[in-house]
Structure 1
Amino acid sequence: MISANDLSPAELAALLHFHADAGVEWLLEEEAIDRFAEFEAMKAARRPAAQAQQQRPAAGERPAPGQAQVRPNAAVRPAPAERAASGPQPAIPDGEAVQQARFVAETARSLVELKTAIESFNGCNLKHSARSTIFASGDAESGIMVIGSAPSAEDDREGMPFSGKSGQLFDKMLAAIGLTRSAILLTQVIPWRPPGNRAPSAAEMDICRPFIERQIALAEPKAILLLGNFSARFFFGENDTIHGLRGRWKEIAAADCVIPAIASLHPQDLLTAPVNKRLAWNDLLAFQAKLKSLSLLRN
């Protein structure tokens, strides 16, 4: 068995990232607990009670041969359906949650108010499994908006979009066209990380849609860069892959705003398949040219 002491710092960091991506959040208890000794003590405590129960004569008629005797103190286990029903349930029905999300979003008069409203909203199950609420950050007055897909495990831990290795690559992508995080408004389509980085369900997307559309309406960007397959499909309403959706300017609507938007590959896609960096670079050049034509970026 390999001990943590045998690992190099880089190997230990990679192992910790692996566990974090798998959903492990706590590796140690506050105090050491011997689970084996705890289990043996539990069995020893139950043994005398079980023996006494077996020796106790049953009240009334004796059970027929082969008939199980019910112990008076035995706990009644719920049926499987009852156990499933007792698990986590949606805070409110999906249809009602969508209506509440729309109301919450429409009543927010600023990004600050919207952020507070989203953090207080409990109508989406994704919030109950996420650590952080990811909201827009950066310069809302820049006229430039970049929208990612859903928060990753690193985003959820750090409380900000595009964290970890994909965030480092994203910073380099911005720098290549003369931008920084602080000079744009950066956000995600979904404010909470889906468990295990799964794709959000249709109901979850419907609930979260008013929030991202209101962010766009309040920021009033002049151009939007969509990163990732999910983000492109969400706004373009198409089912093609990111390779079919990227590199072409389209218009998306949010409230009374109609904004030109272009989609490209997510930095995580580029880490997985570096051969696609050439495609992403072409998209970034097209985005840079649009910003210059709108006088949002100096030549």
Structure 2
Amino acid sequence: MTKAVKNRILYQLNFFKSIGYEYHNNVEFGNNEINNSNLPNNLTELKTIVENCYLCDLCKSRKNVLFGQGNSDAKILFILDEPSASEDELGQFFVGKSGEILKNMIQNVLMLDIDDVYITNIVKCKSNDSFNATHANNCRVYLDKQIEIVNPMLIVTFGEKVYKYLTNDNALFEQLRGNILPYKYYNVLPTFSPNILLRNPSLKKEAYYDMLKIKSILEIH
């Protein structure tokens, strides 16, 4: 809506008010808070809630909500930052160049099908800006509930900002990456994001070793 249109609407509203029209008082909807206790313990029901979420401005620009995908009883849960343009366009994970890298890691190193794992994002809708803490905070309760429902043996976080946002651990990522670290009742392994691997192919070798460590953990359990 342009400024000129807004001004015309305000003019009309003020005119109607001046000739005796009355308007309802503003309705208070509260602070739109959602907490873990009032969310369903079922991924299907939770997905429906998230797909109809309007807590932030991303609802205006998104094409699809990227809630999560995969096995709800998976031993391993992958967390990325936010949907890519390709994922937003198609409403699917594992698409685009970064999605292909991740799919290859799962299929060719972990020797799993993509439906054997569970994958989600911190932010469920595509943003036109860089990763935004406000958007992440609005989605946080959904992410926490997903983790609780899936109850994975291992959480793999892709990228420094994902690990640090999830755990609030500000230690150097270079020292954390590839290690098994505690988070609440879970074990977390931080590794490189697929986007970083696209920009820095030299890091693929280290990411490969991270995947081998994940594979060995899965085989033990």
TM-score category (smaller protein):
0.7 to 0.9
CA distance in 1 between partners of 2:75 and 2:6 (Å): 59
What's 1:118 paired with? 50
What's 2:13 paired with? none
SS for the counterpart of 1:195 is coil
Deviates more, 1:266-275 or 1:233-242: 233-242
What's 1:190 paired with? 123
Residue identity opposite 2:205 in structure 1: R
- Choose which of 101, 105, 116 in structure 2 pairs with 1:169: 101
Residue identity opposite 2:169 in structure 1: E
Residue identity opposite 1:286 in structure 2: K
Alignment of 1:78-93 (within 5 A): none
RMSD, matched Cα: 2.3
SS for the counterpart of 1:199 is coil
Residue identity opposite 1:96 in structure 2: N
What's 1:156 paired with? 88
What's 2:208 paired with? 281
Alignment of 1:171-250 (within 5 A): 171-175=103-107, 176-196=109-129, 198-200=130-132, 202-239=133-170, 242-250=173-181
CA distance in 2 between partners of 1:235 and 1:271 (Å): 23
Deviation at 1:177, TM superposition (A): 1.9
CA distance in 2 between partners of 1:118 and 1:77 (Å): 31
Deviation at 1:242, TM superposition (A): 4.2
Q: Highest CA radius of gyration, 1 or 2?
A: 1
- Choose which of 137, 140, 144 in structure 1 pairs with 2:69: 137
Deviation digits for residues 146-195 of structure 1, max 9, x if unmatched?
A: 11111111111111223211111111111212112111111111101111
Give me the TM-score of the superposition, normalised by structure 2. 0.81
The alignment covers a number of residue pairs equal to 197
Query: In the superposition, relative to structure 1, how do residues 279 and 129 fare at CA in structure 2: closer, same or farther (>3 Å)?
Result: same
Deviation at 1:126, TM superposition (A): 1.8
SS for the counterpart of 1:96 is coil
The answer on whether the counterparts of 2:66 and 2:125 sit within 8 Å (CA) in structure 1 is yes
Deviation at 1:77, TM superposition (A): 9.2
SS for the counterpart of 1:145 is strand
CA distance in 2 between partners of 1:125 and 1:142 (Å): 32
Query: In the superposition, relative to structure 1, how do residues 240 and 129 fare at CA in structure 2: closer, same or farther (>3 Å)?
Result: farther
CA distance in 2 between partners of 1:169 and 1:182 (Å): 16
Q: Confirm or deny that 1:291 pairs with 2:214.
A: no
CA distance in 2 between partners of 1:242 and 1:162 (Å): 25
Residue identity opposite 2:137 in structure 1: D
Query: In the superposition, relative to structure 1, how do residues 277 and 96 fare at CA in structure 2: closer, same or farther (>3 Å)?
Result: same
Give me the TM-score of the superposition, normalised by structure 1. 0.61
| Gaps in structure 2 of 5+ consecutive residues | 8-27
Q: Confirm or deny that 1:269 pairs with 2:189.
A: no
CA distance in 2 between partners of 1:155 and 1:241 (Å): 30
SS for the counterpart of 1:174 is helix
What's 2:186 paired with? 259
CA distance in 2 between partners of 1:76 and 1:134 (Å): 34
Residue identity opposite 2:113 in structure 1: T
Deviation digits for residues 103-128 of structure 1, max 9, x if unmatched?
A: 6x733120001000111221122222
CA distance in 1 between partners of 2:5 and 2:114 (Å): 57
Query: In the superposition, relative to structure 1, how do residues 178 and 125 fare at CA in structure 2: closer, same or farther (>3 Å)?
Result: same
Deviation at 1:241, TM superposition (A): 6.0
Give the 4+ runs in structure 1 shifted more than 6 A.
none
Query: In the superposition, relative to structure 1, how do residues 215 and 285 fare at CA in structure 2: closer, same or farther (>3 Å)?
Result: same
CA distance in 1 between partners of 2:35 and 2:94 (Å): 26
Query: In the superposition, relative to structure 1, how do residues 283 and 76 fare at CA in structure 2: closer, same or farther (>3 Å)?
Result: closer
| Gaps in structure 1 of 5+ consecutive residues | 1-74, 79-91, 295-299
Deviation digits for residues 179-237 of structure 1, max 9, x if unmatched?
A: 121111111111011114x111x322221110001001111111111112221111121
Query: In the superposition, relative to structure 1, how do residues 191 and 241 fare at CA in structure 2: closer, same or farther (>3 Å)?
Result: farther
